[in-house]
Amino acid sequence: MEKGVRKTVADIKSLKIQGARNIAREALAALIVEAKGGHVVKPSCLVNNVSKAAGSLAKSRPTEPMMRNLLSESVSFLKMGQAKKLPAAELRGHFITHVKESIARMEEDALKLAKYGAALIPEDALVLTHCHSSSSTRILIEAKRQRKKFSVVCFETRPRFQGRTTATELAKAGIDVTLTVDGAMNLFMKKTDIVIVGADSVTSRGDLINKIGTSTLAHIAKLNDVSFYSAAELAKYSPETMHGTREKIEERDPDEVWDRPPRGLKIRNPAFEATAAKYINGYVTEEGVIPPESFFSLASKKLGIRI
């Protein structure tokens, strides 16, 4: 495997690259690195190398169907070219162009999603968000670009403090933003107009898998009659859940919570959790704001999954 691919795998594992979209985009970029590397004489060599790289990337974080879906689509494209008996150099060229187009499409989808999401933000609203979701921050930055007046509270997101990244990006964009502790979720909900979070995975039932803390936000939003949205490109759909398999929830190193704990105590560090569809008013997608029940069919259509 190319050195650049190994670095991407390590950076995803260590959260240097975080957030479902960033992970998916960098994983695709790593496939280009793999395809460009080395002296490929036979199409089968190219297919083997790229498939191996895609396998390692897909395993780098378990709860990331967007990465898995886009990697497997790219590998299928490559295998189709091999079946057509294209010469190695041509196959490589077509593959690289195809992956670059996928990355460009991701960017177009993100822009569309941001516009649909910005339309949801009421004038003078207080918006809550959690962790760091590039899709949610884009929505807020787009709303600011549209000169909407609103303020944002984001939670620090222990143990890795991704909320600081969100707060930094929003402050840089000139948005009125407050960073606070995760335990303050209920306190701020009472004055909130809308909650917008990201998504790592959406199941066939329309349930959301996102950063730990998300379901607490959703539950207290419901109690306070506050609208709760998740920004989720359709590629975040987890096809495995169609057959009843649950999306695997990543459990990270306990050291992230407490690196030198006293003996005799257990530490748990779940990275994500599920939020049931009934707590979600809608998913903000590149095709508009949709109810959780519609995610499955629209995503299956987009990903070419036969039901």
Q: In whole angstroms, how close is the CB of 46 to ligand RUB at the nearest point?
A: 29
Query: How far apart, in whole angstroms, are the C-alpha atoms of residue 191 and residue 123?
Result: 14
Residues 227-246 that bind ligand RUB (CB under 6 A): 231
Helix pair 3-13, 20-36: axis angle to 10 deg: 170
Q: Which is nearer to ligand RUB, 95 or 272 (CB)?
A: 272
Residue nearest ligand RUB by beta-carbon distance? 198
92 forms part of the interface with ligand RUB (CB under 6 A): no
Rounded to the nearest whole angstrom, what is the least distance from the CB of residue 148 to ligand RUB in the complex? 20
Least separation in angstroms between CB 140 and ligand RUB: 12
Q: Which is nearer to ligand RUB, 11 or 240 (by Cβ)? A: 11
Dihedrals phi, psi of 71, to nearest 5 degrees:
-65, -45
Contacts 24+ apart (CB under 8 A), 222-225: 222/279, 223/189, 224/189, 224/190, 224/192
Q: Which stretch binds ligand RUB (CB under 6 A): 36-44, 96-104, 130-138, 178-186?
A: 130-138
Q: Which of the stretches 20-28, 112-120, 181-189, 218-226 binds ligand RUB when contact is defined by CB under 6 A?
A: 20-28
Q: Which of 99, 131, 175, 221 binds ligand RUB (CB under 6 A)?
A: 131
Nearest-angstrom CA–CA distance, 193 and 225:
9
> Which residue in 81, 198, 213, 239 binds ligand RUB (CB under 6 A)?
198
The C-alpha atoms of residue 74 and residue 263 are separated, in whole angstroms, by 47
Query: Is residue 18 within the footprint of ligand RUB (CB under 6 A)?
Result: yes
* Residue 102 vs 210, nearer CB to ligand RUB: 210
d(CA 206, CA 85): 40
Contact residues for 108 (Cβ-Cβ < 8 A; gap 6+): 286
Q: Please say whether the beta carbons of 257 and 197 come within 8 A.
A: no
65 binds ligand RUB, rule: CB under 6 A: no
Whole-number Å distance between alpha carbons of 117 and 128? 14
Q: Which residues are catalytic?
A: 131, 200
CB nearer to ligand RUB: pick between 92 and 132:
132
* 149-168 binders of ligand RUB (CB under 6 A): 162
Measured distance CA(198)–CA(116) in Å, rounded? 14
C-beta of 18 vs 192, nearer to ligand RUB: 18
Write out the binding residues for ligand RUB, residues 254-293 only, by CB under 6 A.
Answer: 271
Rule CB under 6 A: say whether 216 interacts with ligand RUB.
no
Count Cβ atoms below 10 Å from residue 41 Cβ, excluding itself. Answer: 11
Give the integer Cα–Cα distance in Å for 57 and 71: 8
Comparison of 138 and 144: residue with beta carbon closer to ligand RUB: 138
From 69, 134, 192, 215, residue interacting with ligand RUB (rule: CB under 6 A): 134
In terms of C-beta density within 10 A (0-12 exposed, 13-18 middle, 19 or more buried), how is residue 298 classed? Answer: middle
Q: Across the chain, where does the E strand assignment appear?
A: 125-130, 150-155, 176-180, 194-197, 201-202, 208-211, 227-231, 272-275, 282-285, 288-290
The site for ligand RUB (CB under 6 A) is made up of 15, 18-22, 131-136, 162, 197-200, 210-211, 231, 271
